[in-house]
Amino acid sequence: MDADSIPSSTVLIVDDDKANLDSVCKIFQREGFQTLATTQGKEALEWLLRPEVSVIVSDLMMAGVDGQELLRAARSMRPDVEVILMTAYATVETAVSAMREGAYDFITKPLKRHSLVRAVEKALEKQALVRENQSLRARLGVLDSKALMGQSPAFRAFYDSLLQIAPSSASVLLTGESGTGKELAARALHGFSLRAKYPFVAVNCAALPESILEAELFGVERGAYTGAVSKRDGRFVRANKGTLFLDEVGDMSPTAQVKLLRVLQEGEIERLGGTQSIKVDVRFIAATHKNLHKEVQEGRFREDLFYRLNVVELHLPSLASRREDISLLAEYFLKRFCLKNNKPLQGLTPEALQALENHSWPGNVRELEHAMERAVVLCRHNLVGLADLPESIGKGPKGYASQILIPIGTSMEEIERRVINETLRYTRGDKNLAAHLLGIATRTIYRKLATDENELLEKPTPPQAD
């Protein structure tokens, strides 16, 4: 428990035994807590509405409004307040009943000071965690608006890994094809990290010449070169305590690689033209579409830098490997660009959607985004049709794709699921025809679909657009 948060936490203590009430108050006051105390449960109900009250410590057996009634009122009026009950008449039944109704803890008399204080501290830790989760969900809503979404097995696996990695301080290497959303993933890692309230700073290593890149990263002292008329901080300093995202790190020059390695090793930089070391505390997230293992083997990328950056590798799946997400993303981009262009379109025609699902998507999600923006701008009807899509998509094969891309390492169970789902797409949901094409019994398809639905009900799903 952070000691700084204790004084702002008020404990409401309720006990009709005045001596016990005074004793409990003194315990918490010595620990630095603010307290409110009353012998009347009815008065406690009035004080419950005060916003500074964080925890209630109440006797269970009291005249008038007792501890369990106070608990029920708290759950209704202030569900954010935790309730700890005290009693000299402890039984398994009363404890179970109180916990079922939402009590955080149940402490028996005679009270032990350490147990009482620890129970309140743990209750406050739980509240802090709930607030943090609410904050994360709020930030997730922002991320949703940037199309980090999906329901496919490939996306779920990626997203689960992202949530697990985000709270750590480890450097992360994002890999995957161009257009898969590596910067979105980097922003999500930052947003779900403990550094989220500090800056997220991005730099594209491939877009800047070597001399400019170094100045951008490390900063410049006045007079370092012609035109450097004043001292300027670089992105390392601007990202201090936050996250620095190095996009296309595989395109860094050998000289820049050496300087970056020093920062990773020492946690300090020097501005160009300067001699003074500056301490920086940043989390590194790097991204590349290149195969850095191969770049290291062929001498174009430093091996020691590679292992510093690649503490954890997170691979973004291609859009071709997550075809189940194409319609979801297409609908999302359609809504976004309709708002942007003030065009009240109602959706896509079945032919347009099928063409999107059949396309190979070499440009991944970025290509889909651009395709939908173009379609919205050019569409003259209520629905986006085949003619509104780029020629490479709209004039592709009109029959359903005859091949399904299966990544190496996919389980047989997952392969079976994909083949059944893709065949059902082709037959437009006709299970008898799908079974005939696959050479299996129709009941097998029903059984597989039922299994999938049960799994979806049992597992939380990643976010979708509104």
- 277-326 residue pLDDT tens: 889 999 999 999 889 999 999 999 999 999 999 999 999 999 988 988 99
pLDDT of residue 403: 60
- Flag the least confident range among 9-18, 96-105, 294-303, 341-350: 96-105
Q: What is the mean pLDDT of residues 235-251?
A: 92
Q: What is the 3-state secondary structure (H, E, C) of the chain?
A: CCHHHCCCCEEEEECCCHHHHHHHHHHHHHCCCEEEEECCHHHHHHHCCCCCEEEEEEECCCCCCCHHHHHHHHHHHCCCCEEEEEECCCCHHHHHHHHHCCCCEEEECCCCHHHHHHHHHHHHHHHHHHHHHHHHHHHHHHHHCCCCCCCCHHHHHHHHHHHHHCCCCCCEEEECCCCCCHHHHHHHHHHCCCCCCCCEEEEECCCCCHHHHHHHHHEECCCCCCCCCCCEECHHHHCCCCEEEEECHHHCCHHHHHHHHHHHHHCEECCECCCCCEECCCEEEEEECCCHHHHHHCCCCCHHHHHHHCCEEEECCCHHHCHHHHHHHHHHHHHHHHHHHCCCCCEECHHHHHHHHHCCCCCHHHHHHHHHHHHHHHCCCCEECHHHCCHHHHCCCCCCCCCCCCCCCCCHHHHHHHHHHHHHHHCCCCHHHHHHHHCCCHHHHHHHHHHHHHHHHHCCCCCCCC
pLDDT of residue 25: 92
pLDDT of residue 226: 58
- Flag the least confident range among 226-240, 265-279, 349-363, 378-392: 226-240
pLDDT of residue 3: 35
- Flag the least confident range among 169-173, 413-417, 424-428: 424-428
Q: What is the mean pLDDT of residues 223-245?
A: 79
Highest mean pLDDT among 80-94, 116-130, 312-326: 312-326
Q: How confident is the model at residue 383 (pLDDT cuts 50, 70, 90)?
A: very high
pLDDT of residue 465: 47
pLDDT of residue 406: 73
Q: What is the pTM of this model?
A: 0.56
Give the chain's mean pLDDT.
Answer: 82
pLDDT of residue 420: 85
pLDDT tens digits, residue range 164-207? 999 998 999 999 999 999 999 999 999 889 898 899 999 998 88
